[in-house]
Amino acid sequence: MVWLGVDLGNARVGLALSDPELTFAHPAGDIYVAGDYFFAIDDVLDVIEDEHVTHVVVGLPLQMDGTEGKSAKKARRWAANLEKRLHAEAEHALEIEEHSIPQVSLIDERLTTVSAHRQLFEANKSSNKHRPLVDQQSAVVILQTALDRAGKQ
């Protein structure tokens, strides 16, 4: 089993993968999206297939008071679209059983970018080098949070 963490950004979509034991998340790269992260769905589907992903965790950018703004609603639409595409692809591939379609869930990502910047700083990455790394590091934080929560259940 491998889980995929996704941090949706307007310039880049950050990705993180878990280890097969679902203990640790590690960076898995960025997808450059030129202002619309809906362009990343095909690439994310490729990662899901290539890495045999069983669960996708998408960051939900809630506002600081916990309400959903425009960005959170767009993230929900993106996750729903991904789920729809996963089911459509499963219908075309008859050998795929219903229970093998990866689950898609959303997790509160408030402060993940702050946490990602802090982790990069602690890893002695200079702040001018954070920008290209922060999206995938945010995906690591999102995924690690989900893994930690799943492990406690």
Q: Beta strands 12-18 and 2-7: pairing type?
A: antiparallel
Q: Per the structure, how many domains does the chain have? A: 1
Identify the residue with better confidence: 37 or 86: 86
Sequence-ordered list of residues with C-beta below 8 angstroms from that of 117, at least 6 positions apart, any chain: 127, 130, 134
**Dist CA 91 CA 65 (whole Å):** 40
Q: Residues 36-51: pLDDT tens digits?
A: 888 899 999 999 999 9
Report the percent of the chain where pLDDT is more than 70: 80
pTM of the shown model: 0.85
Domain with 52 in it = 2-151
Residue 93 clears pLDDT 80, i.e. is over it? no
Q: Indicate if the pLDDT at residue 1 is higher than 70.
A: yes
Nearest to 53 by CA among 116, 110, 105, 108: 105
pLDDT band at residue 111 using 50, 70 and 90 as cut-offs: low
Under the banding of pLDDT at 50, 70 and 90, the label for residue 152 is low
Q: How far apart are CA 37 and CA 50, in angstroms?
A: 20
Which two three-digit tokens encode residue 132? 């290209």
DSSP character at residue 102: P
Q: What CATH number has the domain bearing residue 140?
A: 3.30.420.140
| Residue 29 phi, psi (nearest 5) | 105, 180
Q: If pLDDT is split at 50, 70 and 90, which confidence band does 113 have?
A: low
How does 40-63 read in b/e, with b if 16+ C-beta sit within 10 Å?
A: bbebbbebbeeeebbbbbbbbbbe
pLDDT at 36: 86
